[in-house]
Structure formats: C-alpha cells, structure tokens
Structure 1
Amino acid sequence: MKKRARELGISLDGETGTYNAITDVDGVMVGYSTIIKGEPEDYSGMGSNFARTGVTAILPRGRQRSVVYAGRHDLNGNGELTGTHWMDDSGFIHGPIMITNTNSVGIVRDSVTKWMLENKFYHPLVFQGNEIEGSGYFYPVVGETYDGILNDTNGFHVKEHHVMEALENAHGGFIEEGNVGGGTGMVCHEFKGGTGTSSRKLSREDGGYTVGVLVQANHGARKWFTINGIPMGEKLTGADPVYNMAMAKPGTGSIIVVLATDAPVNPIQLSKMCKRVPIGIGKLGSGYENGSGDIFVAFSTANENAFTHTEAVAQILGDHRMDPIYKAVADAVEEAILNALCAAETMEGIQHNKIFALPKEQVAEILSERRR
C-alpha cells in the first residue's frame, strides 16, 4: 500500500471518515478511466500513439437517479467547468460530475449526456401532471485541468468508451489516487500530481456530518511549496523536472476541487463552502498564480426530495452551525492535495519531459528533524 500524507508524519487537523475519501459521504461513488498508451519514443507529434490522460466520474448519489443541491466558486477562472449558469440560477446539479483534460471537455460532456439518457438518469418534464419520458433538461458538469506537459493533449485520446468506463466502474469505499483517471498526466508543485481525496467527520456536538473532497491537482510552484509551515520547496533536493520543450512558468496549471457533504445545506451555503477551499490550497503554498484555473464545486446528498415538480420541502442547517463545516473543507482539501502528491508516481511524457514523484523519504526526514 502506498503511504498517504498522515503516514509520512504530516500533521493534519481533524478526524477522517473510514476511507479518508469523498466516498465517506454515504452514497457517493467514484470511477476512473486511465489512458496510458505508448512509450515516450512513440510520440512524434499530435495524434501519435501516445497518451497519459483519462476521465474521473463522481456520482453524488451513486446509481440512484437524483438531483442534488449544489454551489460553486472559482479562485481564478483560467479553466472550465460546464453547467455553471444553470447551477448558479437553480442551485442544482443533475447527474454525475466529470473531470478530464482541457481538450476533452466536449467529448466527455456529450458522452455523459448519452449515458444519462440511456440510463434515464434525468427527471422528465411534466405536462398537465404527467411525466413525459424522453424529454427533460439537464446540463452536465465537466471540469478540466491541462496535462500537456506529459500528455498528447491535442491528440484527443479520450473517447466515448472511456467516459462510459469511468461511469460504469464507479464505486464507493476505498478509491485510487495519484496517476489515475483525469489526474493521470497532471503536475503539482512541479512534482507528479493527479487525483487525491480526503474526508472529515464532524463531532456529534457539531452534527456528526461528513465532508468529503476529491481534487485533480495540477497547480502550484515548487518554490512556494509548504508543508506544516516548512518551506519544502527550498529544502527538497533532486527530483527536478526535466523539460525538453518550451514550458510556461511554474505554477501555470489548474486544480479542480469537488466537495461532498451529507449536511442539509442550501446552495448558498455550498458556495460558501467552496470559498473556504483556497485556505487549504494556500496552506501548501499555492493560489497566487494567474495562469491557474482554480475551480470548485460542492454538493449535498441531504434533502433528497428538494427537486420536485410539485411541492419541495427542504431541511436547512442554520448558518451559525457552519463554522465546523468550513474548517473541515479547508482541512480536507489540504490533505487531499497531499494524498495526490504521495500517491503519484514518476512519469515520462511527450518530448521525454519527465516529472518526478514527491521524494517522500526526504519529506519524512525533514518533518522528523523539525520534531526533534
């Protein structure tokens, strides 16, 4: 088993759920399609037989057809998350949340639409009290981060069957991290990044609710990388990226963060939860970069019947009860990014660019020295 952040001796606040994952929120499922083909020497330009990419699917209530309360926020908008206009106006997400690479947003959106139609994973229109099957509206939610340092992004390697694979493979419980799904070709703080997850379980006094996080981490500069207040970017030696092509300045990248909770919160509160995500990102030394798309979305699995064509009844938590939830968000985001870094493995990509895994032994030794 790969060591996660806590096993390296990193000090992290809060009690996690059973799996320390977004799937600790009951009903949430996650699936991946990981696309790794060819060797670096097979890359001869756009469309080569070479790929390091994939798709991630998050199903808020698993395979149950449902609509969930949702909110969002972006720290820096140099990225994409589809379906946001309807999310802002209605406060709902209909269906799965998908994450992929920048140039595959279109195919993923089209494919998840097809999947939702084939599986009747939408609420039909109602006319004169009757449901009209085959007719309804929904706006798929698809986020992206750019993997062009390692992947042949312009080769459009993500296909419909990869999207279907991620959706059909979705499950609860323990989920993989690192070089998987949409996070396959990603870079974080100039080390190998990717997919990471974490959760927080609130105390009984605070409601006993769960907050789960999944990140696709492709952001941050090494010089500002910080763990537990220690400037790791200055202290870590070796593991320097190998770039054989002109690259954008360090920190140019993105992070997509998906929050889940079982707390009965409304869309405004979910958006406010998203506004606490930058605290977790900032504790690790990122969030300053103009070239990064830092985009966050949150949903609640409570209030199952809040979306209805008749009369909706929703239970809403008072704002005065939100403080522990906001802190749980920041803490879980910090840990999810660290878990992505701990799980990710060294990868060589196009033009023989090479991004090394976080040198975890060095990190553990630096932390141990600080404690001594």
Structure 2
Amino acid sequence: MTTTRRLAPVLAPVLALLIAAAPALAQPVVPEGRARARDLGVAPGVLAPGRWNAITDVAGVRVGHTTVVEGDSVRTGVTAILPHAGNLYRERVPAAVVVGNGFGKLLGSTQVGELGELETPILLTCTLCVWRAADAMVDTLLTLPGMERVRSINPLVGETNDGTLNAAIRSRPLRPEHVRAALAGAREAPVAMGSVGAGAGTVAFGWKGGIGSSSRVLTRGLGGWTVGVLVQSNFGGVLTVGGARVGEALGRHPFTRALADSARPAPPPGSADGSIVIVVATDAPLSDRNLRRLASRALLGLGRTGSYASNGSGDYVIAFSTAREVRRAFDAPRLSTTELANDGGDLSALFAAAADATEEAIYDSIFAATTVTSRGGTVQAIPLDRVREVLGRKR
C-alpha cells in the first residue's frame, strides 16, 4: 500500500495546471509525543523567530511534501520549496550554492553557480530518485503558460541517501505523481517536520532524522529582513545541542566503540557519514555573490550541532532571495536591481540569522522525527526525556 501525505494546496494561477488537487490531508507540524527545539528550551542566538519559525516566514516561500510508504521496503519522499508563486523560469531569483563536503549529487548546481540564479523550484529527495524527480518537474513545468517555446531548463534537485530505511532505494520508487503532488501542495504555511517528505527515511546522528525548519526576523534597526532555513538531515557526528554533548552522554557517536576498545574500531549506528541539504531563503535584496556569503554561514550552524563534515558526507547549502528588487526576467536585455551594500550592518545580522536558524532547524529535524521501521531495520527517534536530562545537567 502507498501512503501519500501532502500539505493542503493553495494554488496560484500559474500552478493550476500542475495537477487536479485532491482533498487536503491535515498534517501537524510535529507529531504527537515529539517536540521542537524550543519546547526543550533550546533557542540558538539572540534574534527572534518568525510567526511559524519556519522557512515559510519569508513571504512568498512555499513548501510541499509527499511522503511515500510502500509495504515494508519503501520509506522515502520528496519535498518541494518554491521561492514564489509565479513562474520561476520567467521570473528568476538570485541564488547561490555552497559546498561544505561534496560527497553527493546536487543536480543543476553548476548552472546556478555560473549564472547566479534559480529558474525552477527546489526539490529534495533520495539519492537514486534525483533524476526521476528532475524529469517529473521538468515535464510539469513545460506545461505551464508561457513555456511553449522553452528548449532548455535547469532543475535544481538535492538528495540524501535514505537507503537503510528505504530498503527499496534501488527500485527508485519516486513517481511523477509524487513530485506533482509536492509541487501542487506547496503552501505558505507552517511546515510539517520530522519523518515527512524527503525526510521520511533519513538518519541523523544515529537517530531518526528528517525535515526541520526555522527562521529569524531582524529588528527594524537591523533592516527588518527575514531569513528562513529548511534542512533535510541525514548526517552524523557527535550530536551537540546548545553546547551540551548529547551524543556523548547517550553513548551514540562514531567513535564510541573505538574509544572503548581500540581493537574494535567499527562504528556503531551513530556513523558520521551521510548528507545534509540546507536551503536558506531571505527577503533581503541580496546579489548572488552575497547569497553565497550568506549560504556559507549556514555551515557554521551545522558545525554547532556536532558535524565535522565527514569524508562520506555531502553537505550542501542553497540560498536564494525573494526580494522583487533583485528578481530577473528571463528575457531582460539588462538587469536593473537594487541590492544591499557590502559594507552595511544588515549583512552581519543576516549572517547571524542564517547560522542560528540552521542550527535550530537541524535540532527540529531530529526532535520532531518519529521511529521508523522497514525491512532495512528500525531507526529509533531520539529519546526526548534523555535529551532533557542532559540539557538539565549542563544548565
């Protein structure tokens, strides 16, 4: 049996041709019994979050999930991030990609790096589903009004390898209808987190990983801009939460066995290998060059959680600006944009917001995730009571 969960569709006219939207299925931000970082008293930084504490606090940004569960083998999905509700090919946004460790597949990244702009939604999925996701999105976008003469399109698709829980990963179980559902179901609303969408089968720090999201809103004196982050966590290291070494305290990190017995160096389930994709959105009018600088600060937030970008980890950051002042019409003979100056204090505050929101989004992806079982095994959700104990000892 296939279970497809998606966010309630709020379709802009240009998206109306994507699919005939089925009745929406309500989906909580956090499943019962799970939590967000702030529920545990963990609130990185001094800047306040937005109303949903999610990437969708950046006006116009929409997120949709399709979670795919089939029998005892398929535990995967796709997550779509739309920078705005219009036609991205015709109204492009400046964007940048930063690579922390390049053990992964980020389809379409070279053109983003070359031209500094994004012309499609961003999709996240499983490693062997990247090309199927891209093909389905291209097929869908080519049917939109104004796309009749388009002969080239650059889909941006990221991945992490969920092959432990997604035991049928070799069958590449993502289908076009899953991608269409995620695109059509994307909405400007609270973001469901944990074992959903592209996070359905992921593992982080040896516990169940998934989708997490957070945001920061700058005060008026700092520019009033918003920065939002969404992560697909499937990586490892020594989990650190607000400075507390949770992974060490709970005995789950890549070096547990090696430190206990040098004759048996094989790591336990808390392996450091894996990947993470971080998507950073802002309404600040940034050029693609300054978006690259913003994206690099997200890696600082990643490091705070205990990652050291292991050899087998693919760590990628995608950043874009939704500001109308910096959008780029595909057929414009010249660009005329108004962007933040390099020496403005706003940039430093934006950098802080990106690091803090990334750190919190990663915690949310783990704390919101539920235990998942498949033919590949069972990956437990992190025990929140134990996390509270460790955090309490630190305080």
| 1:363 corresponds to | 387
Contact 2:236 2:274 in 1 (8 A): yes
Tell me how far apart the structure 2 counterparts of residues 247 and 330 of structure 1 sit (CA, whole Å): 29
Query: In structure 2, what residue type is equivalent to 1:88?
Result: G
| 2:241 corresponds to | 227
Tell me how far apart the structure 2 counterparts of residues 251 and 293 of structure 1 sit (CA, whole Å): 11
Percent identical residues: 38
| 1:320 corresponds to | 343
User: Matched residue pairs, number?
Assistant: 343
| 1:260 corresponds to | 281
Tell me how far apart the structure 1 counterparts of residues 213 and 252 of structure 2 sit (CA, whole Å): 27
Tell me how far apart the structure 2 counterparts of residues 202 and 57 of structure 1 sit (CA, whole Å): 26
| 1:36 corresponds to | 69
Within-5 A mapping of 1:321-336: 321=344, 322-336=347-361
Within-5 A mapping of 1:4-153: 4-13=36-45, 14-39=47-72, 50-65=73-88, 66-120=91-145, 133-151=148-166, 152-153=168-169
Q: 1:269 aligned to 2:290?
A: yes
Tell me how far apart the structure 2 counterparts of residues 76 and 7 of structure 1 sit (CA, whole Å): 31
Tell me how far apart the structure 2 counterparts of residues 287 and 197 of structure 1 sit (CA, whole Å): 21
Unaligned stretches of 5+ in structure 1? Answer: 40-49, 123-132, 241-245
| 1:197 corresponds to | 213
Contact 1:33 1:181 in 2 (8 A): yes
Q: What is the RMSD of the two structures over their aligned residues, measured on CA atoms?
A: 2.0
Indicate which of 128, 135, 158 corresponds to 2:174: 158
Tell me how far apart the structure 2 counterparts of residues 311 and 253 of structure 1 sit (CA, whole Å): 42
Contact 1:105 1:143 in 2 (8 A): yes
Tell me how far apart the structure 2 counterparts of residues 290 and 323 of structure 1 sit (CA, whole Å): 30
Query: In structure 2, what residue type is equivalent to 1:147?
Result: D
TM-score (norm 2): 0.83
Query: In structure 2, what residue type is equivalent to 1:301?
Result: T
Tell me how far apart the structure 2 counterparts of residues 290 and 343 of structure 1 sit (CA, whole Å): 27
Deviations 1:25-69 (A, max 9, x none): 000000011001213xxxxxxxxxx20000110011024543100
TM-score (norm 1): 0.88
Q: 1:292 aligned to 2:313?
A: yes
Aligned partner of residue 232 in structure 2, secondary structure: strand
Tell me how far apart the structure 2 counterparts of residues 237 and 293 of structure 1 sit (CA, whole Å): 24
- The 3 A distance-change label for structure 1 pair 104 and 121 is farther
Q: 1:171 aligned to 2:167?
A: no
1:261 Cα deviation (Å)?
Answer: 0.3
Query: In structure 2, what residue type is equivalent to 1:288?
Result: A
Moved more, 91-100 or 1-10: 1-10
Aligned partner of residue 135 in structure 1, secondary structure: coil
Tell me how far apart the structure 2 counterparts of residues 257 and 239 of structure 1 sit (CA, whole Å): 22
Contact 2:236 2:270 in 1 (8 A): no
Unaligned stretches of 5+ in structure 2? Answer: 1-29, 255-266
Tell me how far apart the structure 1 counterparts of residues 375 and 55 of structure 2 sit (CA, whole Å): 32
Tell me how far apart the structure 2 counterparts of residues 343 and 366 of structure 1 sit (CA, whole Å): 18
Moved more, 359-368 or 207-216: 359-368
Tell me how far apart the structure 2 counterparts of residues 208 and 79 of structure 1 sit (CA, whole Å): 35
Moved more, 20-29 or 229-238: 229-238
Contact 1:95 1:121 in 2 (8 A): no
1:160 Cα deviation (Å)?
Answer: 0.7
Tell me how far apart the structure 1 counterparts of residues 386 and 188 of structure 2 sit (CA, whole Å): 33
Aligned partner of residue 275 in structure 1, secondary structure: helix
- The 3 A distance-change label for structure 1 pair 191 and 121 is farther
Tell me how far apart the structure 2 counterparts of residues 121 and 105 of structure 1 sit (CA, whole Å): 26
Structure 1 stretches of at least 4 aligned residues deviating more than 3 Å after TM superposition: 237-240, 246-249
Deviations 1:262-283 (A, max 9, x none): 0000001111111111111110
Tell me how far apart the structure 1 counterparts of residues 391 and 375 of structure 2 sit (CA, whole Å): 34
Tell me how far apart the structure 2 counterparts of residues 248 and 120 of structure 1 sit (CA, whole Å): 49
- The 3 A distance-change label for structure 1 pair 168 and 234 is same
